[in-house]
Amino acid sequence: MELDIKQIMERLPHRYPMLLVDRVIEMVPGKSIVAIKNVTMNEPFFTGHFPHHPVMPGVLIIEALAQAAALFSFEGENDVTPSDHKIAYYLVGVDGARFRRPVVPGDQLRLEVTADRISRSICKYTAQATVDGQLAAEAKIMCAIRVLEE
């Protein structure tokens, strides 16, 4: 299963500059995802991180992985997605995060996330981001699902 940016925006509440997934190239609902983030010099964080040597902040790589995880975790759920404003999907834990190579303008970040456990309230994942086959970042991430009061 593949998703373009329009389909991603139908599923996630994030918008520029915080939408960090551009395309989904593989997805097995409830199990795994491979998504793409195209990193360009136009990213707003590059003006301050760092002007003389632009590097994508590691925390934003982790956020991109969490957004990718949200996409496949809710796929197939007919009544609820993070974009419908009925629920909130929060990144609540990051374990074992390691950053192996800088991510710079012009890189295409490949986001690979596999579910370790998905429940109605807590989800755990194994995630990695690569550039040209080289590991850029890896982590175990945990997200919480909360129903919002109207």
CA distance 87 to 84: 7
Phi, psi of 10 (to 5 degrees): -70, -20
Tell me how far apart the alpha carbons of residues 133 and 80 are, in angstroms, rounded to a whole number: 34
Cβ distance 93 to 133 under 8 Å?
no
Q: Which residues are catalytic?
A: 49
111 φ, ψ (degrees, to nearest 5): -100, 115
